[in-house]
Structure 1
């Protein structure tokens, strides 16, 4: 489980980015992962925990989100 802060999220665009507190890398997060967590949006600065999923095409995205603050 990784921990990070939301850098950007747009429900209209359907995606955003989370910056990892471990190594400072940014991870893509899709609206479907946000909705699967029972949330409607993420706000910049929110702390979240998440798992990283590597798709068949090699792209990495944040899934299994949970708000920490």
Structure 2
């Protein structure tokens, strides 16, 4: 019996920036589907120039396990709408 290895397809999610501190370069996204807020680092923002977000701004994003704490997730591929 052959076992196939399937890669998990990232799920694009929608959310709203709960808060973002441009000086520190991080903040949190409130997911439209509820649950815990999701950590976002400026390096995950998919824009040119200065990477920042504003409170109340709508975004799409994907999540991955946080390498510092595997019990939590962090946002990646964050795209402002």
Q: TM-score range by the shorter chain?
A: 0.7 to 0.9
Tell me the residue number matched to 1:38: 47
Are 2:75 and 1:66 equivalent residues in the alignment? no
Counting matched residue pairs gives 66
CA contact (8 A) 2:39 2:73 kept: yes
Bigger share in helix = 1
Q: TM-score, normalised by structure 2?
A: 0.72
Runs (4+) of structure 1 exceeding 6 A deviation are none
Larger Rg belongs to: 2
Aligned-residue RMSD, C-alpha:
1.5
Q: Which ranges in structure 1 are unaligned for 5 or more consecutive residues?
A: none
